Amino acid sequence: MKSLSCPNRQCPLARKASSGNIIGHGFYRTNGGRRRRYGCSTCGKTFCSNTGTPYHRLQHRRATFDEVAALSVEGLNKSAIARVKRISWNTVHRWLQRAAGSCRRFNDRKTTGYAITELQADEIRTIIRRKEQPNWIFATIEVWSRLWPATIVGRRSYRNTLTLFRDISSRMNLERVPLITTDGFTFYAKVIRRVFGPACLYGQVIKTRRNDRIVKVERRAVIGADWRLEKILADSEDSSKLNTSFIERLNLTIRRGSAYLLRRTICHPRWKAYLEDHLELLRCHYNFVRPHRALKFGRELRTPAIQAGLVTRRLTFREIFSSTMLLLALRNVTFAFFDSPVSVSVDDSRLSVAA
């Protein structure tokens, strides 16, 4: 109890651990067993160790909640998860909404201050409710770290494109000039010029298809001189020429990880909010939990977040969901690094860009 603090923001001792105001307040029983409650002797509020997390008032084991989230990001739909875990469909739906909300807050808090050397963007077409109302998922990837920094769901419009790149620019480290590669979508050039200005390098890869086969690939520089583009590609560890291979591979990962996006499926989302929630859950899992096979260094297998310097080790869903205990100001050593920036040394010679 010495490490706990009162979660009530109006309490004079809120977020102050080891103040001596937290006392035991009995127990409560769940299907997972008996759990302890605490009380604040200053304001009189009671709480438990899971207050402020998705586990709050959970009538099952926390491991079951984590397994439901893990099955969801592996492409299983809610009905299949309910059958496998032997719980009701409504419970699965409610749990995934909680998990998505926690992952959204975690993504907003942790996905900041990363460096971008090469950024690729693309869109995934999907339907919501009706085939006559197509929606698009704007996805981006930072090639060097394989980080998935941001995503937007909506119409293929100028406003959504601008929102996507503004979100990226507000979170990234602007010390280096990025190389941005997209397809030939009309609004990309206008938005990138508006957000990043003439200092960035922007190229397009335009593919011509005939009978569902690519018959021609055209590469062209839109912003920036050709010699600057050649230099940054020569210094790149991943690309020797303009390409969209990495974002297309991420698109496949997104499709395989979301039951809403599988082809020829009956699980398409009925509401846009459900798709946005699941993408936040999937993005958190991709960046922080799932090791990336392209980021293997000897015996070490990193996640994109480790490579980008956002965290120092691979996380689990338990740590991500419990990290919302910041609302309680719990000072647990396991989660202490969530509040402090992580310093990672990176060889500047690999990231240098001609000015």
Q: Whole-angstrom distance between the N-terminal and C-terminal Cα of the chain?
A: 55
Q: Look at residue 160 in the predicted model and tell me its pLDDT.
A: 95
Q: How far is CA 42 from CA 1, 123, 183, in A?
A: 15, 53, 60
Q: Look at residue 332 in the predicted model and tell me its pLDDT.
A: 36
- pLDDT > 80? residue 327: no
The more confident residue out of 211 and 265 is 211
Mean pLDDT to the nearest integer, 161-186: 90
- pLDDT > 70? residue 329: no
Identity (one letter) of the amino acid at 319? Answer: E
Q: Look at residue 288 in the predicted model and tell me its pLDDT.
A: 96
CA distance 247 to 233: 17
Quick one: what percent of the chain has pLDDT higher than 90?
52
Mean pLDDT to the nearest integer, 205-226: 88
CA distance 355 to 342: 27
- Tens of pLDDT along 13-54? 776 666 677 777 777 776 667 777 788 877 877 777 777 788
pTM of the model: 0.81
- Tens of pLDDT along 330-355? 333 333 334 433 333 334 433 333 33
Quick one: what percent of the chain has pLDDT higher than 70?
87
Residue whose C-alpha is closest to residue 245's, from 163, 146, 177: 146
Sign of CA dihedral 11, 12, 13, 16: positive
The more confident residue out of 77 and 326 is 77
Based on its alpha-carbon atoms, the radius of gyration of the chain, rounded to whole angstroms, reads: 23
Residue whose C-alpha is closest to residue 99's, from 131, 136, 62: 62
Q: Look at residue 197 in the predicted model and tell me its pLDDT.
A: 85
CB contact set of 41 (below 8 Å; sequence gap of 6+): 21, 22, 23
Q: Look at residue 345 in the predicted model and tell me its pLDDT.
A: 39
Cα 261–265–266 angle (5° rounding)? 115
CA distance 109 to 103: 10
- Tens of pLDDT along 73-121? 999 999 999 999 999 999 999 999 999 999 999 999 999 999 998 999 9
Mean pLDDT to the nearest integer, 232-240: 86
- Tens of pLDDT along 114-160? 999 899 999 999 988 777 778 999 999 999 999 999 999 999 999 99
- pLDDT > 70? residue 203: yes
The more confident residue out of 286 and 130 is 286
The more confident residue out of 302 and 35 is 302
Mean pLDDT to the nearest integer, 224-249: 88
